[in-house]
A and B are shown apart, each in its own frame.
Chain A
Amino acid sequence: MTDRQSPKDRTGYLISQLVDGEPSREALDELNELVLSDTSSASLVVDHLILDSLLNEDLSRDSLATLVDLVADPEVTAGDLNSDTDAVHRETRNASNSRRRPTSWHLRSASWIVAAAAVILLIVIVVGRTEKEAYADATQIVQAAVHAHAEPVERVYVVDVERHDSVAVSSALPNDVRVATLGNRFWVEIRSLRGHLCFGREEDGEIWVALGQWRGMRIESDEVGPMLQDIADLYSLNLESLLQGVLEGHELERPVTEGTTRVIKATPKSSNRGWVRDVTIEVDQETKAVRRLVVQRRAPRGGSATVTFTLVDARLPDESQYRLEGHLAEPDRVLSREFRPDRRRVLLENWIGPLAKGWIVENRQASDQK
């Protein structure tokens, strides 16, 4: 023990070496002696190691933040997620409802909202102020896609992100994000080296989240906060819903035919505004399904990224996968409005970060009143 450290500090130091690094042989010998000679130290070591295990288990699995990072900015750090949810949401709403685009974005910390807004802006761009004929043509194509979307066919899209700067290109590569859509229902599966996570929406608008294999939650349609609604619309590729957020300020090119696909390209009027550069939507001429959706955007920390949804399969749906139970194994624990509703917010916040505060509206209001 060093002269300057009290026994308590020394114990803390040894435990910190054990939990957060590899202790030296000498430190380990000291720890062995301490555990055997002092019951309270043994208990303290166990308490810290159990806590370490819980934190690793509960926090280090793939969270929705992984998807967010993947879609928007693979480099984003957890610290960046400490932004104000309402402010972010306000910004997102402004982007979809106001004619005036925000002149600057401070959304480094909210990259998944950026991703959601990117697709909202995609629609904004697609149907933005433009010549009437092209507008009508583009609208027809999109409406046909919306109609096709309502058919009882499951469509599976792979979500890819390509960074155009040198640093983070590889960081997103091990992940595999797939979105399966069936009408207004969808479920998203994220696979990576660390495991997998799923969430989805039922026909009545209820959203479920499978947090690992044994825990899940249900968020009924009237509890779904606006931000979560945006995300749900994003991943269900619910163009009809997204079209409601029309903005001006982007140039729409006349749709062109490429093989069996109708392609609509759009660019912002001013390249200096916003973070979306170019957007391309490709609709299959025959099936009217959206085959590809490509959003080129500025990355929050400079550089740029291309987010692509690519149709990889159209098939008869496996209905069970659109329900939470299809993703859980017994003994499972499902939190809902009826069963421990307040735990849902806590769990979401732990998995996703402070941004998830606004996901469950009713609970947030109830919490505010307390």
Chain B
Amino acid sequence: MSEASQEVIVREIARCQPRLRAFVRCLLVRYSDVDDILQDINAVLWEKADEFKPGTDFWAWASQIARYKVLNQLRSYGRERLVFDLATVQRLADVAEHRLNELDARREALEGCLTKLAPPQRQLIDLRYVDGHAIDRIAETVGRSAGAVRQTLYRIRALLLECIQRQLSSEGGA
């Protein structure tokens, strides 16, 4: 591979990282597994860099590799590991691959939507994502049950998704 091609591949791999991360997240039950598999995927992308045809859709190529890497990884896990069925993974990958074409727009919309949350909602989101606290600890902090915290977080994320969708629709219609 020429030096120029290497540079293109490195740049494309770097550019794709947020999308790849989100893609892998969609196929795994445990968030803690994402980084390990993402590292493996990056290694495979680099190994197979010769196979990428410049001028074609890098994301389409990379997401296929990521999909098969995840599937192989899940096959290697024993029964005791909690993972999606392989058919489910394929289904989720199909949906995610399409959705992630607009990841940057989603991120920008999310930035605005986060500021619209009411303070208690933002507090929960911060405890969960900024501090990275486990649900049990958040429950202890806010004096509610773990189940109630999960439910509230789900509702907040649903609100954020609605807000994101509204923004994407308005931008698309503008």
**Residues in chain A within 8 A of chain B (CB atoms):** 12-13, 15-23, 25, 28, 31-32, 35-36, 42-43, 45-60, 63, 65, 77-79, 81-82, 329-331, 343, 346-347, 349-350, 353-354
Contacts and interface: CB of A to CB of B under 8 A. Distances in A.
B61 to A, nearest CB: 18
Contacts of A31: 84, 88
A48 B115 contact: no
A21 B88 contact: no
Interface of B: 11, 14-15, 18, 21-22, 25-26, 29-31, 34, 82, 84-85, 87-88, 91-92, 95-96, 99-100, 103, 106-108, 110-112, 114-115, 119, 122-123, 125-132, 135, 141-142, 146, 149-151, 153-155, 157-158, 160-161, 164
A48 B82 contact: no
A81 B126 contact: yes
Given A16-B150, A54-B106, A65-B130, A42 B135 contact: no
B161 A45 contact: no
A59 B96 contact: no
Given A32-B84, A35-B91, A43-B95, A60 B132 contact: yes
Contact of B88 (A32, A49, A343): A32
A329 B14 contact: yes
B151 A353 contact: no
A31 B91 CA distance: 12
Given A28-B29, A52-B31, A350-B114, 11 more contacts: A20-B128, A25-B82, A31-B88, A35-B91, A36-B91, A42-B91, A46-B92, A55-B110, A56-B31, A59-B129, A346-B115
A18 B153 CA distance: 12
A28 B99 CA distance: 23
A52 B135 CA distance: 14
